[in-house]
Structure 1
Amino acid sequence: MNSLSVLNLRENNLQKDDVVDLHKILIKMPNLRDLDISGNPVMDEGIRSLIPFISWSIQKENPLLRLTVENCELSSIGVIILLECLTNAKQLLDVLSIADNHLGSSVAAALARFLGSHVRALNATDIGLGTVGFQILEETLPTEVALSHINISKNRGGIRAAYFVSRLICRAPDLVSVNAAGNLLPPESLEVICNSLKQGTCNLERVDLTGNMHLSSNIFPAFLEFKKHGKPILVVPPNLSTSAPYDDDP
């Protein structure tokens, strides 16, 4: 086990009580760089049991770089504890995925602080941020963010998601991609995001706005001016849908 660098335990029906034994095994993996326990209902108690290992693993000589805890039936309480552990560590986690856990807006402040820890990629799809969560993220986002990739899709953020994306673009010069698909973005979102692009796009290549059926090139065609490698940075749904009423209620 000394040489193991990647451990994928997805959907192994691990319960919260199993994590105590898992912790004892993980400690024997000094070269582990990538841990995935997604799809196991370990809940908050299980994450608490892993915190000592995570604290140790991100500060060792060959630190843990990627942690994936998708769909683990976590609440905001457990994830806030995890984020605080990662934010305060001397060594920095490169990639974190907390997707598909219903966390709600109460996780937003801790998530914003974590974004200032120089994490490179974050997957926070479908965690229930809503409009309130995105507003908190926007208002508490650190002035310097090292993100390269972020997925905040399926969070029903409405216009507040657009304002967060706009601010993130301005504060993350190394940002390459943003996935904000399926966030109930209203038509004015395109102009909000384009206003930030006018300040310079640096490394930004793609902002995925698909799945927001009230956006289209017909609404604000000026977005096509912003390109990277000859392709539009903003990716919108191909056609404007008028068959469904707009609903931004989270």
Structure 2
Amino acid sequence: MPKLLDLCMAAIADELLQGEGNDDFLSVIYELPQELFDGLLPQLPPLALHKLQEKLPTNFMESREHAYDDTSDSLKRRRCDILDTAWRALYKARWPSLDQQNKTVAWFDRNKEKCEIINDWQQKYWETHLQDCVDAIAETALLPSYDGSIGEIQIPDCIMEQIGCKDYLIKLPLDSLKFSCHCQQFGVYVRRLRLPNALCSAETCELFQNSKLGSLELQWIKSNDHVEGLCKLLSQSTETLKSIEFIHCKLSPDFVNAISDSLHMTGLQVHGVEHFSIKRSSFLQADSSPIPAGLASFLTSGRSLQSLTLCDGHLGRNFARGIFNSLLDASSSLSKLDLSENSVSGPSLISGFLSQFRWRPSSCTFNKSLQSIRVLNLRSCNLEQDDAESLRHALNCMPNLDSLDLSDNPIEDGVGSLATYFTEISSRDVPFTNLKLENCEASCKQMVELLGVLSTLNEPLHVLSIKGNMLGSKIGAPLGKFLCTGVLSLDAEDIGLGSSGFLQAAKEISVELKIAYINISNNQGALGAAKFIASLVKHANEIVAIDARYNSMPMDSLSVISSGLKDSKGKLKHLDLAGNTFCHQIADADSVSAELQIHGQSALNVLLSVAPHIPYDNDP
């Protein structure tokens, strides 16, 4: 049977949800003993907790400071912590997957943005709630047949139930179900917003006029009406807006110019945007057309601009040249430049710009924007072998660069130019941490040279990915030596190591390694792969995850791996052995997994799933 206290708590929640702001009732709640008040908070649904906190007296913390053996500051901090804990629990219960995303840190990709630190869970809760509302009403607003007001669209019952209105939907006033009501109540909490084109309107500006928007994601902008509404929203938010992202948009020069004009602060020819991104979008102009004047102005006037992303945008040659030239003229301290996925047929649109660096004197003064770049992403830009030398000269104009992604570019022996670049910077004070050369058609000879040079850096590389390059077994020994330099994360998937390559790599491991993650999948390693894993876990005290899928490891590999785990320090959390030959032969996968877990001496997650019946493709 429910306890009397629980029934009282439920009655309070009901009154908060249904009551019309009864101040006398709230004052009684605020006078509850601390233990009862603190115990009430976790029992309240979101809307009830919001109403309780909304009218919390400003002197609520101080009014009790003499009743407890505590200082005023620590008491206030404790009260805030209790409220914040209640909101955090509500957030986790409603959006468990989003909460998990906030915690996840990729083992391999250490160049990811740092996971979000949330200091105000009430703000985060209602911001995410309102985004759910936006996504829901957009389904109606996008219908060609709908020509009504956005604010009049009703919030679905399933969302109303999430905030505590499940048993009161019939009793609620009609206005409280409207999108406009939720914007009025919770718009003040919104800092980030994702809007489809149908919601880029003057009405949306009014609905979010109390929001201090710091980040906007705009989708499917493609008409004058969309741009007109968007520009009003941008103008309204110029003082607070720091991040803008366009996805799946079609932008004409006039659109770009209008958007740029709306971002400038009142009376000033500068803007405060720090992160600007255009992804999977197209510019409605001929390939030979120059960069729109508005975009050039935006780039050159962006003193606060820190990151620029123009990804998968079908950029024309003159457009790309205009982007680079604008950056050369800019006064910003750009730290991240992403021009990935701009591959087109014929010569690379970026190579033309890079070529001019060949003729720049080595003593040239670094442009501020280039000098500050730390992260450069040129993945899949159709860069070829001849472009690598030009790229080397360009990289020398970026003395603070610490992360470079050249994956999916057929640079082949151009890797040698990169080796020269790393030789030139090997003694610099700024460490280079992240290099990706996936699917670059690199030769074993050039990769061996590069690994040798990387081993001489003042500080060891943190992350290296060379997956998808058919290097062969001869890369084994150099790779083993490189592991001993202190690299933290290595992706060597599908590089043709074979059993002999793994054995050669294992022979080179004789010191304590710092590696935390390694991917050696799809290398047909057989028993050699198992022996490499055994050697790895013995010498890598910090190893957290190993991906060794699809290596054709036979049944006796399990005993080899198990023996290695016995000698390990037990920090390994994830061992993926899926798709290996022994997976077909194991009678009881659970017992084998349990045995490996015991030998791992920790909460080791072992994957032993059977490979699909697809023949291995050994053709690079």
TM-score over 0.5 for the pair:
yes
Higher helix share: 2
One-letter identity of the residue aligned with 1:121: S
Q: Which has more radius of gyration?
A: 2
Shift of 1:213: 4.5
For residues 159 and 39 of structure 1, the distance between their equivalents in structure 2, rounded to whole angstroms, comes to 31
Q: CA deviation at 1:146?
A: 1.4
- Which whole-Å CA distance do the structure 2 matches of 1:230 and 1:109 have between them? 31
Aligned length: 242
Judge conservation of contact 2:410–2:441 (CA < 8 Å) in 1: yes
Alpha-carbon separation, structure 1, partners of 2:464 and 2:575: 19
- Report the counterpart of residue 234 of structure 1 in structure 2: 606
> Which residue number in structure 1 is paired with residue 95 of structure 2?
none
Please list, as runs of the form range in 1=range in 2, the aligned pairs for 1:6-17 lying within 5 A after superposition: 6-17=375-386
Note if 1:224 corresponds to 2:594.
yes
Deviation at 1:221, TM superposition (A): 2.1
Residue in structure 2 matched with residue 248 of structure 1 by the alignment: none
Equivalent positions of 1:142-181 (< 5 A) are 142-181=510-549
Match of 1:24 among 393, 396, 404: 393
* Moved beyond 3 Å, runs of 4+: 56-59, 227-233
Q: 1:133 to 1:88 in 2, by over 3 A?
A: same
Deviates more, 1:51-60 or 1:165-174: 51-60
**Among residues 486, 499, 512, which one is paired with 1:118 in the alignment?**
486
Q: Which residue of 2 aligns with 1:91?
A: 459
Measured after TM superposition, the shift of residue 197 of structure 1 is 1.5
Please give the per-residue CA displacement for 1:136-173, whole angstroms capped at 9, x wherever unaligned: 11222233211111110000001110111011100111
Q: Which amino acid aligns with 1:23?
A: R
1:190-209: per-residue Cα shift (whole Å, max 9, x none)? 22111121224432111110
2-side partners of 1:26 and 1:12: how far apart?
16
Q: Higher relative contact order at CA 8 Å, sep ≥6: structure 1 or structure 2?
A: 1
CA contact (8 A) 2:405 2:437 kept: yes
240 and 95 in structure 1: CA distance in 2 versus 1, 3 angstrom threshold: closer
Q: CA deviation at 1:121?
A: 0.7
Query: How far is the alpha carbon of 1:29 from its aligned partner?
Result: 0.9
Residue type of the alignment partner of 1:17? D
Superposed CA RMSD in Å reads: 2.4
Contact 1:67 1:96 in 2 (8 A): yes
Counterpart of 2:377, as a letter, is: N
* CA gap 1:58/1:149 in 2 versus in 1, 3 angstroms: farther
- Determine if the alignment matches structure 1 residue 54 to structure 2 residue 428: no
Deviates more, 1:135-144 or 1:157-166: 135-144
Aligned partner of residue 575 in structure 2, secondary structure = strand
Q: The residue matched to 1:7 in structure 2 has which SS?
A: strand
CA contact (8 A) 2:524 2:551 kept: yes
Query: What are the Cα deviations for residues 210-239 of structure 1, in whole angstroms up to 9, with x where unaligned?
Result: 1215324726824314168985432211x5
Q: Does 1:37 align with 2:406?
A: yes
Tell me which moved more, 219-228 or 126-135. 219-228
Q: Which residue type is aligned with residue 382 of structure 2?
A: N
Report the CA distance between 1:55 and its aligned residue: 2.5
Quick check: 2:589–2:608 contact (8 Å CA) kept in 1? no
Gap regions ≥5 residues in structure 1: 246-250
Corresponding letter in the other structure for 1:97: S
Distance of aligned partners of 1:234 and 1:11 in 2 relative to their CA distance in 1, 3 Å threshold = same
The SS at the match of 2:572 is: coil
Give the aligned residue type for 2:504.
Answer: I
Measure, in 1, the Cα distance between the counterparts of 2:466 and 2:474.
Answer: 14
Q: Any conservation in 2 of the 1:116–1:144 contact (CA below 8 Å)? A: yes
TM-score, reference length from structure 2: 0.37
Equivalent position of 2:119 in the other structure: none
Q: Which amino acid aligns with 2:415?
A: I
Contact 2:579–2:611 (CA<8 Å) still a contact in 1?
no
Aligned partners of 2:374 and 2:486: how far apart in 1? 22
Quote the sequence identity (%).
36
